Structures are given as structure tokens and as C-alpha cells.
A and B are shown apart, each in its own frame.
Chain A
Amino acid sequence: MTSRPNGEPLVRLSGVNKWFGELHVLQDIDLDIARGEVVVVIGPSGSGKSTLCRAINRLEPIEKGEISIDGERLPDEGKDLARLRADVGMVFQSFNLFAHKTILENVTLGPVKVRKKPKADADKRARELLDRVGVSAQVDKYPAQLSGGQQQRVAIARALAMEPKVMLFDEPTSALDPEMINEVLDVMVGLAKDGMTMVVVTHEMGFARRAANRVVFMDEGRIVETAEPETFFTAPKSERAKDFLSKILTH
């Protein structure tokens, strides 16, 4: 485990509220994430953890409260929002690689069209990143020709190519076969060790123990408990967390 970073928070959520119709999915969320910090968000399904993650780059708009990244409030729509999203990497549960583009094109699209990098530079950087996540042999294939684990590692490379300030992971291993989970987690642990700021929605406790600075436990739209991973898993304070952990730890 790395030491707890300090300084101005990179991501700040204050008084965030969101409703899906009648359902109050995010209730008065306050959360600061420091530069270089790795936060794991955990909780039962329907607790709002994915919505929280998606709200940080406004894939889910919020009704009340404020989210800011690097001191800048999330813009509502338009060019400013697109610019800010370019600085926030996102990895989805279902990978969402661009199905009509090759692996290399998936990684270079953002740098070329958004960052206006010359194609040759973008290609070179993309190959380095794909090498780093271990899929450099597949650059000319299409996403459907890769395994889930490989696709997810490409998705991580695609996000990294934008040189983001923070990376969001929305249940990145939940759609993977068990034997592919570790190859993705290893890449994520490497990123954490390199000092990337990360928000990770996951149930992978091994990852939380190895890489996280903090665990945030959510239930019914609220943050119930925040603690260091070891403390949280061995001595949770809230009844709800004890109950949740007893259910996922017995297997």
C-alpha cells in the first residue's frame, strides 16, 4: 500500500444528489479524492456506486450539488464538457471498444481527433500503451476477435492515451471470466503504483487490499463508511457493512 497523498483534492463531490424518477440514487454525497489517491467504491447492487462513478464525468447528470475536477466545476454540456471529459479516463464494465475500428484505431481515435496529435505520434504512443497492457500482438485485429480480458486491457490503454488526470473504473472485471480477471487487475495495480488517481467500483477485495488507499462503502445512495482497506475488511464499523461483508466473504 502506498502512503496517503495530500494536497488539494483532484476530484471533489459536495452535496451531490440524483434521482431516477422517484428513486433517490445519490443522497448528499460528499467525497474528496486527492491527487494520486486510489479509492475503491464498494456496495450492494443498487447502492448507487456505478451512478456515482458515472456522475464524475457527467455520463449521469446530477440534479443537486457540485462536482469539480482539478478545481474546475463540471460544465453542463457542450465543448467545455467534452474538453473536461478528455482529462477523465473511463473504463466500462462492458468494455465498449469501438466495434468497427481496429485495436490500434481504438486507442488513437481520441488523441488524433480530440488532442489533434499527428497520426504517427499517436500510433507510436498507442503501440507503447498496448505493449504496456500486454496486447501488442493484436493491434490490427477488431475488438470482437479478442478475449474479454484483452478487450478490457485495450479499453484501459484507450483511456490512458488521452493522458487523463484521473481514471474511473465502473466494475471493470464484472463481465470477465474468472481466469481473465487477474490480467486486468494486474494492469490496474501497475497504474496505481505509478501514481494514477483512480476511482474503482469493484468487489475485488484483493485489488482493494493491494492498491487502494481508501474504501468507500455505499448503500441505498449514501456513503455509509469510509476507511482504509485493511480496517474496512477486518473491522467494519457499520452494521450494514458487516452484513454485506459477511455475505461476500463466506464464499
Chain B
Amino acid sequence: MAKTGEEIRQLNEKIVGAGYFVDALRKEIGQVIVGQHHMLDRLLIGLLSNGHVLLEGVPGLAKTLTIKSLATAIQADFNRIQFTPDLLPADVIGTLIYNQQQNEFVVRRGPIFANFILADEINRAPAKVQSALLEAMQERQVTIGDHTYKLDDPFLVLATQNPLEQEGTYPLPEAQVDRFIMKVIVRYPEMQEEQLILRHNVQGERLPPIRPVVNIQEILDAKSLVRDIYLDEKVERYILDIVFATRYPGRYQLEKLTPLISYGASPRGSINLALAGKAQAFLNKRGFVIPEDIRSVIYDVLRHRIGLTYEAEAENIAAENIIDEVLKAVNVP
């Protein structure tokens, strides 16, 4: 929607006011989690842009603690589901249980009824369970028996995947992975950060409890402001150029990428790049999106949306390398 300069200025002021909680959240969670700023920012982007985040990282990188802390800091409900091969869809969404005293079936809601869901090791559960979760993520409602229940708002699913131990797992199909706004790679902490972690744990220092710094209503208000953030046509064009370059590299003098890409980013890629760009602008307390916002989220938004050929895999080329080349070729407005 076209906006005047004055409207954007007013929106900017609102965002500066409403976005106070971003720094407060970072500070509060920083007391418990050492490092992992990138992961926290991406969780906030997922929360503000109404998306879900797929986290990939080895165990022990404080993924659960970060999400739990975030839930506490925004006074939201949090549930963790450990995905296992014997998990059933009913274990996730809930089921009808027969009550002998009342002689009727009653609904037992599953752990999906919470604001924050941590779907731990999502690739360990069979396809039907993954599918039930992903359907709920997309539609934000579940049906148990004859009734359809709306899920809470905000509703953020954080699914984790362990890149190791792939034996006996059920990798998410491309169409399912595409439903996550971002795929975030959680990396090891820096040496100095790990030294701090070590001290906290070995010396038995008790971590301070997380205090709530923002309430759910404020988060919902922020989400509505994020939707209003101005996205200029030039930035839209920049997003489309990037996405199209992944589909048709030849049009952007990137012929060398053609044999490496089996499929480019989907239209959901363009949409999510714009949404994540808006959320990033919000985190930077801006009422409009600039190319920097797009570039800062591009790897997390597109890495799981670009299919690589066997040739690329044989040459150890990752989706990030493809994105690098695309960014070098597409002109910034």
C-alpha cells in the first residue's frame, strides 16, 4: 500500500516507541544465554512476522533454554514436544478420551495448544506426525473430533533438527520445509562466550530468573505494526530479482550456477523474504524496509528453499554459496 512520507515518519515514531521491548528482551535473555544473539533475533523475526522457525544445530547449543527464556520474558505459554519414531498425531494435537463417569467423550488438548512450541528433533517422527504439526502451523487451528479449535496468538513453532545422526530419521520434504519462514543454523559459541558458559556451569553460579519484560498484547500490537511497515516498490523489485536469480540464473549473468541449482526459491520465498525484511526493519526501529534488511535475513530465509543438484553437492557447494553469488550479481536499488 502506498504511503506518504509523513505517514512513514509517523509509523517510524510509533515503532521507536513500540520496539522498546526488543532491547529489553535481548538484555533479559542475555543474562541467561551467553551469545546466540543471531538465534534470538531470528526467533523474534519469526514471532513478529507470524512465521515459524526451523533451527538446525548440534545438541547442547541452548536452543531449548533460549526458547524457554523467550517465552518467560514475554509471558507466553511454552510446550516442548520431543519427536520420536513412535509418536502419533494425537500426541501432538490432542484426542477424544472417554469419560466413564460422565459417559461421554471429552477433548484432551495436545501440547500444541501453547504460544511457543518447541518441536524437538522433528525429523525423528514419522511423516504423519510431521504432517499434522505442519498443517496446524499453516492453518493455526486443529480439529479434534467434530470440533475445530483455534490455536493461541501469538503461535510460534520452533522445530529443531539435528544435522548429525541421520540414521533412522524422516527428513522433512521440501514442500514441508518451505512452510518455515526461516531455517536458522545455530553455531557453536565463540571461545570467550564458551569460557563464560563454562564458568557459569562449573562454579555453580545460579542463573538469575528471567523476568517478564513485555506482555502478549504488546507483542500482538508490534505484529500489527510490522505488517504496516513500508516496503517500497524498489525493494520489492530487489526481492524479486534475488528470487528470480535463484530460478533463472542465466538472466542475471549467472550461467555458472545453472548446473548447480535443481530448483529455485518458491513464491513463498519472496513473501517470506519481504515479511522477514519488515520484521528486521522493526528490530532496527525503522518504519520502512531498506536493502540492508533484506540482505541481513536472506540466508536464513532462502537457504532451505534452494535445491542443489548432485553436481553442487559433489563440489561441496551449499545454498549459502549460491546466495552469495546471487547477491554479488543483483544490483542494489
Co-complex (A, B): no
Interface residues in chain A, defined as those with a beta carbon under 8 Å from any beta carbon in chain B: none
Interface residues in chain B, defined as those with a beta carbon under 8 Å from any beta carbon in chain A: none
